[in-house]
Amino acid sequence: MMQHEFKVDGDKVEVTLAKDGDKWILGEYIAQITMDGRILLSDAHGTVNFAHSAKVGDTWWVHFNGQVFCLDKLEPGSQDNDADQGMTAPMPGKILDVRVTNGQSVELGDLLLVMEAMKMEHRIIAAKSGVVSRVNYSVGDQVQQGDVLVEMVE
């Protein structure tokens, strides 16, 4: 099973998908991609519908039952994913430098820490102004994508 988060009309929506051969299971629906690229959706009652989707930038446009849905995929570590009001790791890596301490005031854009991932340095900056409430990792620690590195309060 795969967990995904999307933002729809400003609200977060969690979606769980499971793959079974060439079929995708989404709640009570089973989805299959047809030869012409449409998405065939069937439910437990035998009702069949078709959907169309297109990705433009980071937004998925889904046309289903006469309605259009715009879904923004929230990736772990993205600035739009504000889980726990913290700054998160964009990918697995190692902490190289921690520039803040608990209780320190920071401004939007201040450098919080530096991590190495994929042989590149990534600067984790404050997504807002506030006070550091907790630094969760130290220099040398290994982190995974989506791990909350620094927590802040306003």
Q: What is the pLDDT of residue 13?
A: 84
| CA nearest neighbour of 80 among 134, 127, 126, 115 | 127
**E strands, the chain, in order:** 2-8, 11-20, 23-26, 29-33, 39-43, 48-56, 59-64, 67-74, 86-88, 93-98, 105-106, 111-117, 120-125, 130-135, 142-143, 148-153
| Encoded tokens for 18 | 């499971």
The confidence band for 4, taking pLDDT boundaries of 50, 70 and 90, is confident
Q: Give the pLDDT of residue 76.
A: 55
pLDDT given at position 84: 42
pLDDT-derived band at 81 (thresholds 50, 70, 90) equals very low
What is the Cα–Cα distance from 7 to 43, expressed in whole angstroms? 24
Rounded distance, CA 61 to CA 67, Å? 10
Identify the structural domains of the chain with CATH numbers, from first to last. 2-74 (no CATH), 83-153 (2.40.50.100)
Mean pLDDT of 101-124: 90
Q: Select the more confidently predicted residue: 135 or 6.
A: 135
CA–CA distance, 154 with 149 (Å, rounded to integer): 17
pTM over the 0.75 mark: no
Both tokens of 8, joined, read 């729809």
**Structural contact between residues 84 and 127, judged by C-beta atoms closer than 8 angstroms:** no
Q: Are strands 105-106 and 148-153 parallel, antiparallel or unpaired?
A: unpaired
**Two tokens, residue 4:** 């995904």
pLDDT in tens, 26-78: 888 899 999 888 999 999 899 999 999 888 877 888 898 888 888 887 655 55
User: Over the stretch 116-150, which tens digit does the pLDDT of each residue have?
Assistant: 988 888 888 888 889 999 999 999 999 998 888 99
